[in-house]
Amino acid sequence: MPSFARFTPLLSSLPATVPFVGPEAIERNRGLIVRARIGANESGFGPAPSVVAAMAEAASDTWHYSDPENFELKQALAAHLGCSPTNIAVGEGIDALLGHIVRMIIEPGMPVVTSLGAYPTFNFHVAGYGGRLVTAPYVQDREDLAGLLELVKRENAPLVYFANPDNPMGSWWNADAVAEFAEALPETCLLILDEAYCETAPDGTTPALSRLIDRPNVMRTRTLSKAYGLAGARVGYVITTPENAQAFDKIRNHFGMARISVAGALAALKDQAYLTDVLQKISASRDAISDIARANGLLPLVSATNFVAIDCGRDGAYARAIVDGLMEHGVFIRMPGVAPLNRCIRISTGLPQDMTLLAEALPQVLKTIG
């Protein structure tokens, strides 16, 4: 049957798409079983036992709406970060917050600057609000700060997206370079500084909050999905000026946070010992992935995230064959979607048994595809 006749022209012009095909869909569509779920940059190490306990305890009160002001979570985040609760906006993961930010800034036809091959969900939101993407290619597998700045000025763009560390390549810039980029932007351009992987990055990667927190044209997005192991709970937050943070109240879903998720987030922030342990496991798993890649004649890229991009040495078709071939063995991974980044595959860190499955399957796949 046809769709409703009075959808907006913008909606009617957009494809119905999902930025990432999930392992569940792959299982349904290909009749395969995921045995090693190391493709979506989740934490295979899971949340802390204290977090699971807190969420279980909160389950009996799930008939309550969560606090629409997110007061307790803002207080906890502020204490953890060393800023004021007024500097924080909370949302259902970074993905929802990106949509809010785009909605705040972009009207149909406006230019939005990002890197070619960077996070597809941001692009999805830009398209959904009618923005016009303008992209700078990666240089040596890193987002090109000079290229992004040049595009912002050339296009008089009101919005630019930059992730540090980066997804999908795992590369990063040091804190001074990031801060200098932010400070060089015109005051009329808002920077989304996506720091989803800041916990897994080396010291000196993330600018101090004090350096950028008073800049009204900077919003820093962070999440508890990665190192804290709460991807399915959907807990994200923005660090920015109080005035910017308050602006989210004009458009956000005030009852969007699940009560169980908030309980988990509060417990996760308290259990920093568990976070320290997980970060060590992530580092060890990155090393294991790199060793497996090298043993099979592939080149792992140095990573500051909870995944490793691996240069397969050919083109996107070859990388896709590896991704599909590994899935035949139950090993779910992903790959960048745009050339030349798509010469790589991307493997998330995981448990030792996941690494064993990968080590067993990869040489078989490479031998099969030639």
Of the residues 242, 270, 298, the one at which a domain ends: 270
Residue among 139, 138, 199 at smallest CA distance from 349: 199
Residue 204 and residue 305 share a domain: no
List the CATH number of the domain containing 235: 3.40.640.10
Q: Residue 194: inside a domain, yes or no? A: yes
Residue 255 and residue 355 share a domain: no
pLDDT attached to residue 17: 85
Residue 154 and residue 237 share a domain: yes
Dihedral over alpha carbons 116, 120, 121, 122 (to 10 degrees): 0
Residue 207 and residue 145 share a domain: yes
Residue 284 and residue 193 share a domain: no
Residue 209 and residue 240 share a domain: yes
Question: Cβ(47)–Cβ(341) under 8 Å?
Answer: no
Residue 245 and residue 160 share a domain: yes
Look at the chain and report how many structural domains it folds into: 2
E strand or H helix at 30, and its extent?
A: helix 23-30
> For the whole prediction, is pTM greater than 0.75?
yes
pLDDT per residue of the chain (370 residues) written in tens, 0 to 9: 778 889 999 999 999 988 888 999 999 999 999 999 999 999 999 999 999 999 999 999 999 999 999 999 999 999 999 999 999 999 999 999 999 999 999 999 999 999 999 999 999 999 999 999 999 999 999 999 999 999 999 999 999 999 999 999 999 999 999 999 999 999 999 999 999 999 999 999 999 999 999 999 999 999 999 999 999 999 999 999 999 999 999 999 999 999 999 999 999 999 999 999 999 999 999 999 999 999 999 999 999 999 999 999 999 999 999 999 999 999 999 999 999 999 999 999 999 999 999 999 999 999 999 8
Q: 3-class DSSP state for residue 168?
A: coil
Residue among 89, 57, 58, 60 at smallest CA distance from 73: 89
Joined tokens for residue 159: 């919005």
Sheet containing strand 307-311, edge to edge, reads 299-300, 307-311, 344-348
Domain with 261 in it:
49-270
Going from the C-alpha of 157 to that of each of 123, 201, 220, the distances in angstroms are: 15, 29, 18
DSSP β-ladder status, 132-136 and 299-300: unpaired
